[in-house]
Amino acid sequence: MALADRTATTVWTGDLASGSGVLNFGTGAAGNLPVSWAARTETAGGKTSPEELLAAAQSSCFAMALTSGLARAGHPAERLEVEATCSLDRVDGTPTVTAMAIRVTGTVPGIEEEVFQEAAQAAAKGCPVARALHGNVEQTLTAELLRP
């Protein structure tokens, strides 16, 4: 049995180029989120995309993994800010998620730079979303420790 199952539903109308959809999370955590092909490949125009949702999943997953790892190592984080950028490109003529870049800045009192970097690397390799992307998507990490 799974630790957790989460569901999202999209209702799409029209063709790919001119159509659009509405995404809903099963938890009700967000209302109707409009999606469209143009939001993926042109200007977002207030709509989301699968790549933005994947970046959101990666940034929150990484933040949880890093804060947990830091606390286990005796260095609870005061603040972490994680930005994830998911890249969509053409591979063999087909749109493909090709890269996920994570940038984290952290305020962690009393930690050494090397320990922070090691914890960030471990989180980047160990969080469930990163593990799902492993071997399929190039993943990069930039971690900056801020001093209070």
pTM recorded for the entire structure: 0.91
Q: What is the pLDDT of residue 148?
A: 66
Rounded Cα–Cα distance for residues 15 and 13 (Å): 7
The answer to whether 71 and 106 have CB atoms below 8 angstroms apart is: no
pLDDT averaged over 10-residue windows placed end to end, the chain, 148 residues? 88 91 87 89 88 95 96 96 95 95 96 96 96 96 91
Cross-strand bridge partners of residue 33: 23
- For the chain, what are the domain ranges? 8-41, 50-146
* Angle, vertex CA 123, rays to CA 72 and CA 6, nearest 5: 100
Q: Work out whether strand 33-35 and strand 20-25 pair parallel, antiparallel, or are unpaired.
A: antiparallel
Pick the CATH number of 50-146 from 3.30.300.20, 3.40.1710.10, 3.20.20.150, 3.90.1150.10: 3.30.300.20
Q: Which two tokens stand for residue 115?
A: 């320990």
